[in-house]
């Protein structure tokens, strides 16, 4: 069985339902502001969290709940981050307890998340009032759940695929939110993943922690690492495969499926960066080490000047070399090649660290596309890495100038 893209998002895997509703956290009644994902049975669970020293109360509560490696439900509100609040932990625990009571599960089996404005008190009342309708509407509603976790996102982000483990068809799906305050070093956004593959919590954690180094930690929108971000995955085992408890062919198959899903979500997040008009991918090849390949790719993606040049469709390759130069990576600048690539073609703009003659007209045509790859060859090894970001537009400042008010 070949791996293939399917419909369903977080509801694609057997035994998972989801929903999203407006409960009253947001003033705009047309926007859903709370989401729920539920597994029919207790699932293996793993999560990774932001490295920001300021962490939202939901992350602290969730980390405590997942100490036993299991969970059965995920609840997430938008519109308020529940961060830097004196009663934040209490509110997050109340969310868990209220949901658990209505679902008939343990409060410790609830993953809690919040996203939105930092430093504003979160009233439990609308959440408490909204939980019954949230549960009543549970079904094949991954799209509702994806909508309910959006903040400044313009597009809903969800994906799913099927794959085979031990002769059994398994499914994995996810939803994500992320548009601003996104920068490498975990987790950079909220991502919720579900799978019916049977895998131990230890191996699930190993898979997730290994994957994020090449996916979610390779995104940057604006250089700000948020306070509330995490990636969580639940595996309920309903596919019926023999449980994955160690490395091997089955674990490799699961890792491949997880990576395929997360790369797609990474691109969705980067393309929907606040005010963005273009998805920018930096692919570094022929690097001497993984650290150098990743360091160079992230430095290029994070450069405000590179991002601004991409917005203006300006083939200013000198900014790419500049970003490589201050990356802190040991590279031989006299070996670097740079090309710009899109659906309109490819143009080489730098060879061995120096400019070459190229058609500005072709370069402009290539860079006018909404998906652009900055291809960097270091010509000093066989390691490669990819990072994702977006252009820097006028709208980014407009969005963040009055985000709180």
What are 159-191's pLDDT values in tens digits?
A: 999 999 999 999 999 999 976 544 444 334 799
Domain borders along the chain are 4-271, 279-401
Q: How much is the average pLDDT of 253-263? A: 97
Model confidence at 275, pLDDT cuts 50, 70, 90, reads confident
pLDDT tens for each residue of 359-377: 999 999 999 999 999 999 9
d(CA 290, CA 225): 22
CB contact at 8 A, 378 and 287: yes
User: Mean pLDDT over all residues of the chain?
Assistant: 91
Q: At residue 271, does pLDDT exceed 90? A: no
Q: Which two tokens stand for residue 369?
A: 């596309």
Residue 147, number of CB atoms within 10 A of its CB: 22
Rounded CA Rg of the chain? 22
Please report, in angstroms and rounded to a whole number, the separation of the first and last CA atoms in the chain.
51
Phi-psi region of 356 (alpha: psi -120 to 50; beta: other; left: phi over 0): beta
What sign does the CA torsion over 83, 143, 36, 8 have?
negative
- The pLDDT value recorded for residue 182 is 45
* Angstrom distance (rounded) from CA 264 to CA 218: 13
pTM score, two decimals? 0.84
**Pairing mode of beta strands 230-235, 190-195:** parallel
Choose between 210 and 217: higher pLDDT.
210
SS (H, E, C) 253-315: HHHHHHHHHHHHHHHHHHHCCCCCCCEEEEEEEEECCHHHHHHHHHHHHHCHHHHHHHHCCCC
Catalytic residue among 62, 115, 188, 386: 188
Res 68 pLDDT > 50: yes
Handedness of CA 184, 263, 189, 51 (dihedral sign): negative
Question: 28-32, 74-78, 274-278: which range is least confident on average?
Answer: 274-278
CA distances from 201 to 198, 250, 271 (A): 10, 15, 32
Confidence check: pLDDT of 38 > 60: yes
Q: According to the model, what pLDDT value does residue 179 have?
A: 60
Q: pLDDT higher for 28 or 286?
A: 286
Q: C-alpha 253: how far from its chain's center?
A: 21
pLDDT at 144 over 70: yes
The mean-pLDDT minimum among 74-78, 190-194, 229-233 falls in: 229-233
86 alpha carbon, distance to own chain's centre = 28
pLDDT at 221 exceeding the cut of 90: no
Q: Which residues pair with 199 in a beta bridge?
A: 244
Residues whose CB falls within 8 Å of the CB of residue 339, separated by 6 or more in sequence, listed in order: 346, 347, 348, 349, 374, 375
- Per DSSP, the residues of 326-340 read TS-----GGG-EEEE
CB-based contact 250:166 (threshold 8 Å)? yes
Q: In what order do the strands lie in the sheet with 371-377?
A: 354-355, 345-351, 337-342, 371-377, 279-287, 383-390
391 neighbors 310 (Cβ within 8 angstroms): yes
SS3 content of the chain, % helix, strand, coil (to 5): 35, 30, 35
Q: Is 188 a catalytic residue?
A: yes
**Confidence (pLDDT) at 251:** 98
- What local confidence, expressed as pLDDT, does residue 153 receive? 79
Q: Is 88 helix (H, G, I), strand (E, B) or coil?
A: helix
Are the C-beta atoms of residues 239 and 171 closer than 8 Å to each other? Answer: yes
- Answer yes or no: is pLDDT of 204 > 80: yes
Which has more confidence, 220 or 12?
12
Instruction: Say whether 365 sits in a helix, a strand or coil.
Output: helix
Distance from C-alpha of 174 to C-alpha of 9, rounded to nearest angstrom: 5
Give the fold, CATH level 3, of 279-401.
Ubiquitin-like (UB roll) (3.10.20)
Phi-psi sector, 13: left (phi>0), alpha (psi -120 to 50), beta: beta
| CATH fold label, 4-271 | 3.60.70
**Peptide bond just before 77 cis, omega within 30 deg:** no
| Percent of the chain whose pLDDT exceeds 70 | 94
- The predicted pLDDT at position 228 comes to 62
Convert the pLDDT of each residue in 369-405 to its tens digit: 999 999 999 999 999 999 998 888 887 777 767 755 5
Query: Residue 83: which pLDDT band, with cuts at 50, 70 and 90?
Result: confident
pLDDT at residue 223, rounded to an integer: 54
**pLDDT bucket at 147, cuts 50 / 70 / 90:** very high
pLDDT at 281 over 70: yes
């Amino acid at each position: 069985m070949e791996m293939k893209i399917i419909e369903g998002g977080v509801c694609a895997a057997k035994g998972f339902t989801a929903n999203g509703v407006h409960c009253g956290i947001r003033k705009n009644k047309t926007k859903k502001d709370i989401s729920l994902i539920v597994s029919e049975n207790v699932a293996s669970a793993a999560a990774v969290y932001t490295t920001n020293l300021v962490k939202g109360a939901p992350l602290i509560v969730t980390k405590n709940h997942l100490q036993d490696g299991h969970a059965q439900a995920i609840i997430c509100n938008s519109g308020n981050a529940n961060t830097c609040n004196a009663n934040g932990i209490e509110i997050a625990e109340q969310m868990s307890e209220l949901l658990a009571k209505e679902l008939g599960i343990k409060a410790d089996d609830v993953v809690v998340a919040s996203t939105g404005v930092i430093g504003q008190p979160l009233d439990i009342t609308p959440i408490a009032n909204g939980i019954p309708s949230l549960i009543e509407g549970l079904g094949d509603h991954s799209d509702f759940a994806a909508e309910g976790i959006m903040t400044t996102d313009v597009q809903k982000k969800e994906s799913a695929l099927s794959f085979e483990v031990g002769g059994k068809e398994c499914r994995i799906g996810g939803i994500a939110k992320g548009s601003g305050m996104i920068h490498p070093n975990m987790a950079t956004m909220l991502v919720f993943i579900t799978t019916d593959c049977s895998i131990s919590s230890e191996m699930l954690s190993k898979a997730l922690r290994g994957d994020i180094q090449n996916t979610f930690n390779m995104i940057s929108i604006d250089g700000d690492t948020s306070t509330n971000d995490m990636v969580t995955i639940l595996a309920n085992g309903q596919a019926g495969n023999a449980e994955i408890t160690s490395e091997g062919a089955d674990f490799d198959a699961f890792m491949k499926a997880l990576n395929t899903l997360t790369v797609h979500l990474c691109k969705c997040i980067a393309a929907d960066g606040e005010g963005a008009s273009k998805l920018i991918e930096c692919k570094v090849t022929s690097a001497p080490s993984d650290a150098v390949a990743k360091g160079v790719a992230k430095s290029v993606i994070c450069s405000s000047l590179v991002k601004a040049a991409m917005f203006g469709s300006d083939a200013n390759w000198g900014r790419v070399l500049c970003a490589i130069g201050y990356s802190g990576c040991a590279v031989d600048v006299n070996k670097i090649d740079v090309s710009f690539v899109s659906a309109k073609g490819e143009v080489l703009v730098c060879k061995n660290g120096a400019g070459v003659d190229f058609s500005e007209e072709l370069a402009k045509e290539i860079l006018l596309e909404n998906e652009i790859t900055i291809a960097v060859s270091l010509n000093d090894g066989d390691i490669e890495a990819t990072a994702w970001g977006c252009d820097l537009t006028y709208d980014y400042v407009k969005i963040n100038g009055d985000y709180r008010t």
